[in-house]
């Protein structure tokens, strides 16, 4: 049974897949997009014929009043506590948070207990998601068994079971030979390898960006090179093997330059950036605020500006939330002992819109990096308003001001860097396969 057909009109249609930013209307039927056009039938309900397409009698007609209607966000890097740490986050709670933030597809990370490194576990996740989650959940499976960086998992079988790509999550693969083999083996299946770039030896016991601020706080630093050295190794390997490689998160100008150079030689290499590195810098840590402790660490303002420019010019392909729920017992600790990570699903769009309002990145490009591009990389049919695509859509008011209050956080964990922060731009309605999973009026 499907819901009533939905007809959105008077909407600012943003479709990065066709480079489209226009006022128009869109019809949803049976969970997918039936028609879309820049024609605006007169309201109210007397619009019978619209672009040679019948608007069904029982349609719900939504006057969007110029608000933005775009494909829903596809978040490529989300940590969820299920299975194993359900007190931090479950598929259900993460999906509710996602829906509120305009995220219609979550690619969840394999760093769970047990690790998602087996067909049965991919299958388990998909079944749990079907039963409990309100948005699409796409498992990202481990590259190596138990994330131990040694023995490869069954890429082919897990892809068939529904895994969308492979990563060792928070871990970086130290052994260059294993990394090479994984890239070659993934090529067999056309699979995408995502990697968190960090040289363990160089990062050592570092807890924040190396430099003046770390020195003043008496904290040991992680140099930028801990990231760019592994990234340089990986891009070399990706060129050597001709495989698809995606740097999960880059955080500074050195890595950005490296990606920019490599992209001139190949289109097999892509990269992402977390919303945190686009909107925050190391100064936000202030008096040892552990909610700002993340990996890779927040960098300098210059680095932040350069990754923002990287998003604007397309060097950086995708923006992720890096949603990583942590509980009080892993965060209310001395800074160096606290766990890395912040939640981000609920604030991903709103924080990204800051870049739009600041005039740094166009709305079309932001939605491309949040939705269309990640969908392409993961081989998903969403991320577009083309006819026939699944009706995974968000309707948002680009200008509505609001405050993100702790008491309103939907995630089980409350470790947000944006507590009581002001935003401009709010999700009004989220649809997954044509079904409304979140509405705010």
Partner 1 sequence: MKSVFSHRHLLGIDALSSSDINIILDLAGKIAEANSEKKRNKKKILQGQTQINLFFEPSTRTQASFELAGKRLGADVMNMSVVTSSIKKGETLLDTAVTLNAMRPELLIVRHPEAGSVHLLAQRIDCRVINAGDGSHEHPTQALLDALTIRRHKGCIAGLTVTICGDIMHSRVARSNILLLNKLNANVRVVAPATLLPPGAERLGVEVYTNMCAGLKGADIIMITRLQHERMKTSFVSSQREYFHYYGLDREKLELAKPDALVLHPGPINRGIEIDSDIADGPQSVIGEQVEMGVAVRMAVLELLAANFPEETQDA
Residues forming the site for partner 1 (CB under 8 A): 210-221, 223, 287-288, 329, 332-338
Residue 152 or 333: the one with the smaller Cβ distance to partner 1 is 333
Residue 178 or 202: the one with the smaller Cβ distance to partner 1 is 202
Q: What is the CA angle 397-401-404, rounded to 5? A: 110
Residue 309 or 333: the one with the smaller Cβ distance to partner 1 is 333
* Least distance between partner 1 and beta carbon 292 (Å): 12
* Least distance between partner 1 and beta carbon 81 (Å): 20
* Least distance between partner 1 and beta carbon 7 (Å): 53
* Least distance between partner 1 and beta carbon 286 (Å): 10
List beta partners, residue 32.
Answer: 29, 390
How many Å apart are CA 249 and CA 258, to the nearest integer?
13
CB-CB contact of 52 with 19 (8 Å): no
Q: What are phi and psi of 203, to 5 degrees?
A: -70, -30
CB-CB contact of 139 with 108 (8 Å): yes
Residue 110 or 221: the one with the smaller Cβ distance to partner 1 is 221
* Least distance between partner 1 and beta carbon 308 (Å): 23
How many Å apart are CA 42 and CA 90, to the nearest integer?
44
Q: What are phi and psi of 426, to 5 degrees?
A: -140, 140
* Least distance between partner 1 and beta carbon 415 (Å): 15
- Could you identify the residue written with the tokens 């729920």? 325
List beta partners, residue 247.
Answer: 195, 271
Residue 335 or 402: the one with the smaller Cβ distance to partner 1 is 335
CA nearest neighbour of 385 among 37, 58, 71, 135: 71
CB-CB contact of 100 with 135 (8 Å): no
DSSP H helices, 245-300, are 253-265, 275-279
């Amino acid at each position: 049974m499907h819901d009533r057909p939905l007809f959105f009109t008077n909407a600012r249609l943003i479709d990065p897949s066709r480079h489209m930013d226009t006022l128009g209307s869109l019809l949803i039927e049976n969970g997918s997009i039936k028609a879309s056009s820049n024609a605006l039938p007169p309201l109210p309900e007397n619009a019978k014929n619209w672009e040679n397409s019948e608007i069904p009698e029982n349609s719900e007609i939504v006057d969007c009043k110029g608000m933005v209607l775009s494909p829903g966000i596809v978040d490529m890097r989300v940590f969820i506590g299920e299975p194993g740490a359900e007190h931090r986050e479950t598929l259900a709670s993460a999906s509710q948070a996602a829906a509120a933030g305009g995220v219609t597809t979550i690619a969840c990370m394999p760093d769970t207990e047990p690790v998602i490194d087996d067909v049965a576990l991919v299958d388990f996740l998909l079944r749990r998601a079907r039963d409990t989650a309100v948005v699409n959940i796409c498992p990202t499976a481990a590259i190596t068994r138990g994330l131990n960086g040694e023995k490869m998992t069954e890429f082919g079988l897990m892809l068939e079971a529904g895994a969308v790509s492979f990563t060792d999550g928070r871990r970086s693969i130290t052994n260059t030979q294993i990394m090479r083999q994984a890239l070659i083996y993934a090529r067999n299946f056309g699979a995408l390898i995502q990697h968190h770039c960090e040289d363990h030896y160089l990062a050592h016991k570092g807890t924040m960006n190396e430099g003046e601020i770390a020195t003043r706080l008496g904290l040991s630093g992680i140099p930028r090179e801990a990231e760019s050295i592994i990234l340089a190794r990986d891009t070399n390997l990706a060129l050597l093997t001709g495989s698809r490689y995606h740097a999960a998160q880059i955080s500074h100008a050195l890595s950005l330059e490296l990606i920019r150079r490599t992209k001139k030689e190949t289109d097999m290499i892509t990269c992402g950036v977390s919303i945190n590195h686009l909107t925050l810098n190391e100064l936000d840590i202030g008096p040892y605020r552990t909610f700002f402790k993340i990996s890779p660490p927040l960098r300098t303002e210059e680095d932040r500006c350069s990754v923002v420019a990287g998003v604007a010019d397309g060097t950086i392909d995708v923006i992720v939330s890096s949603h990583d729920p942590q509980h009080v017992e892993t965060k209310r600790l001395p800074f160096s002992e606290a766990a890395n990570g912040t939640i981000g699903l609920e604030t991903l769009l709103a924080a990204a819109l800051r870049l739009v309002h600041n005039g740094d990145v166009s709305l079309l490009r932001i939605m491309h990096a949040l939705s269309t591009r990640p969908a392409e990389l993961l081989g998903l049919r969403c991320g577009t308003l083309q006819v026939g695509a699944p009706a995974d859509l968000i309707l948002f008011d680009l200008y509505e001001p609001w405050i993100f209050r702790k008491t309103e956080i939907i995630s089980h964990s409350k470790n947000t860097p944006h507590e009581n922060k002001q935003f401009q731009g709010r999700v009004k309605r989220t649809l997954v396969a044509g079904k409304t999973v979140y509405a705010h009026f």
